[in-house]
């Protein structure tokens, strides 16, 4: 069954692209190509006229064909680049359906690519992270995975664990006196080394999430502290209302901006004080909710409490006031003093010295699997240290492999056998 969908955003544009994938894709397209002829070779664009059932021309389009298996989905795939009018797009899709195609589900083209072995799960997920990343840095890490960076490093870890399983299973099958002398120690060393690799993958995940999805920062503190003034200074626009009266901000005011490629979702909130009007009381409730779910809270003119990693203590109005308290930074939002230093501090607090160059995990699903895989390795290492039964160790190592399989492709019994026999000599 061929599937069809418009791959470009809805609305008017210079060009829209309708994609059709499946064995019958070329045949379907031929039913509404009038003037001009379709070339049959791979990757050869043809300029053609599109016609309706009564053979009336309704658009001129460029049709590009990708022949199986050399296409994104692995099937015959046709891209129709038509004029970007929603009426034309909908007409093309209707004609495809009348000729036997089905509307594609979200992500179905990539699902086909995965099912046809064009990419593994981590590569398929990277397509989604490339499309949804909120910064160029996030896009770059997605592209790296699309090219197989994550799969490559997971395969390397799996290989090492598979070889441990193969060795242990071999030793389980032979008598005690034939046991390889250092089997427990060498397995333990290998397991420990892979725990380090897995942990470094998860550590960099949270920071990379900030690059993918953005980090939320809440400006909080007493009324009149200058939260809205700082909000405007950070985004460089007079967006939030500033007055000399207390209780100006009520609703949460939100704006996105970047600090060195890091997408920030900045939120200005109502100043917290004993509630006045009903509207202000509700605003204060909202402020508290935002504070509890923020990635970072910029706390204004409040004596710094015990260091909380989520809080950054800011002393504002340093142009007219001084303090001896130990704030993270002194600023003047009104006079733009120390604002770029504050941005540096925010960046450091959120992502430290982290470099996106090292990040490979791009989804929570992947991070959960890596975490579970390293938990199983930790259990295996405890069993090995305690001299417990090797069968139990093998079980945990197999569970670790199963978790890693969720990121790339399944490990089969053959992979394990191959690992056993690859160490044999030729002729043996």
Ligand X SMILES: Nc1nc2c(ncn2[C@@H]2O[C@H](COP(=O)(O)OP(=O)(O)OP(=O)(O)O)[C@@H](O)[C@H]2O)c(=O)[nH]1
Binding site for Mg ion (CB under 5 A): 227-228, 248-249
* Residue 225 is a binding residue for ligand X (CB under 6 A): yes
Distances (CA, A) of 225 to 103, 230, 282, 337, 419: 55, 10, 19, 15, 65
Among 1, 320, 425, 426, binds ligand X (CB under 6 A): 320
With beta carbons less than 8 A apart as the criterion, state whether 221 and 304 touch.
no
Q: Supply the minimum distance, in Å, between the C-beta of residue 162 and Mg ion.
A: 58
The residue written with tokens 């950070």 in the block is 234
Give the integer Cα–Cα distance in Å for 247 and 270. 7
CB of 248 to Mg ion, least distance (A): 5
Q: Does 244 bind ligand X (CB under 6 A)?
A: yes
Q: Tell the smallest beta-carbon distance from residue 278 to ligand X (Å).
A: 16
Query: Of the listed pieces 55-63, 162-170, 219-227, 291-299, which binds ligand X according to CB under 6 A?
Result: 219-227
Based on CB atoms, which residue is closest to Mg ion, 249 or 318?
249
Longest C-alpha distance within the chain, in Å?
89
> Of the candidates 71, 171, 332, 374, which one interacts with ligand X according to CB under 6 A?
332
Find the binding residues for ligand X in span 261-280 (CB under 6 A). Answer: 270-271
From CA 366, how far away is CA 126, in angstroms rounded? 11
283 binds ligand X (CB under 6 A): no
Helix, strand, or coil here: 112? helix
Cβ proximity of 295 and 215 under 8 Å:
yes
Q: How far is residue 369's CA from residue 341's CA, in Å, rounded to a whole number?
A: 38
Indicate the residue among 72 and 231 with the shorter CB distance to Mg ion: 231
- Applying CB under 6 A, among 19, 144, 227, 267 the residue interacting with ligand X is 227
Decide if residue 325 touches ligand X (CB under 6 A): no
Nearer of residues 78 and 217 to ligand X, judged by Cβ:
217
Mapped onto helix, strand or coil, the DSSP state of residue 80 is strand
Under rule CB under 6 A, residue 333 binds ligand X: yes
- DSSP single-letter state for residue 262: E
* E-only strand ranges, 104-244: 215-220
Given the rule CB under 6 A, which residues bind ligand X?
A: 223-229, 242-244, 246-249, 270-271, 316-317, 319-320, 332-334
């Amino acid at each position: 069954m061929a599937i069809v969908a418009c791959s470009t955003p809805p609305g008017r544009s210079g060009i829209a692209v309708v994609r059709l994938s499946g064995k019958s894709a070329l045949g379907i397209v031929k039913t509404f190509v009038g003037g001009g002829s379709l070339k049959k070779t791979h990757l050869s664009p043809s300029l053609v006229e599109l016609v309706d059932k009564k053979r009336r021309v309704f658009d001129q389009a460029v049709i590009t064909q990708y022949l199986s298996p050399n296409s994104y989905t692995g099937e015959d795939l046709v891209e129709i680049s038509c004029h970007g009018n929603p009426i034309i797009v909908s007409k093309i899709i209707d004609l495809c359906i009348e000729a036997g195609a089905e509307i594609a589900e979200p992500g179905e083209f990539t699902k086909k690519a995965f099912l046809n072995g064009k990419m593994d799960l981590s590569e398929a997920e990277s397509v989604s992270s490339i499309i949804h990343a909120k910064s160029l840095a996030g896009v770059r890490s997605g592209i790296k995975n699309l090219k197989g960076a994550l799969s490559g490093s997971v395969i390397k870890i799996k290989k090492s664990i598979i070889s441990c399983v193969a060795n242990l299973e071999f030793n389980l099958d032979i008598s005690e006196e034939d046991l390889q002398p250092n089997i427990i120690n060498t397995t333990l060393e290998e397991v420990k080394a892979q725990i380090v690799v897995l942990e470094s993958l998860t550590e960099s995940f949270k920071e990379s999430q900030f690059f993918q999805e953005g980090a939320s920062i809440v400006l909080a503190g007493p009324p009149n502290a200058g939260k809205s003034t700082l909000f405007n200074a950070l985004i460089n626009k007079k967006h939030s209302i500033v007055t000399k009266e207390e209780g100006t901000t009520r609703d949460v005011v939100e704006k996105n901006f970047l600090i060195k490629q890091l997408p920030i979702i900045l939120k200005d909130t109502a100043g917290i004080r004993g509630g006045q009007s009903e509207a202000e009381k509700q605003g204060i409730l909202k402020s508290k909710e935002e504070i509890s779910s923020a990635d970072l809270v910029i706390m204004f003119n409040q004596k710094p409490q015990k260091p909380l990693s989520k809080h950054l203590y800011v002393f504002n109005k340093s142009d007219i006031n001084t303090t001896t308290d130990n704030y993270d930074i002194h600023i003047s939002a009104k006079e733009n003093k120390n604002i770029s230093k504050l941005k540096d501090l925010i960046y450091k607090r959120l992502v430290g010295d982290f470099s996106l160059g090292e990040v490979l995990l791009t989804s929570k699903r992947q991070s959960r699997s890596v975490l579970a895989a390293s938990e199983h390795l930790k259990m295996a290492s405890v069993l090995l240290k305690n001299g417990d039964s090797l069968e139990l160790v093998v079980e945990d190592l197999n569970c670790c492999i199963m978790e890693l399989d969720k990121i790339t492709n399944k490990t089969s019994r053959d992979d394990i056998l191959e690992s056993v026999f690859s160490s044999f000599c030729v002729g043996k």
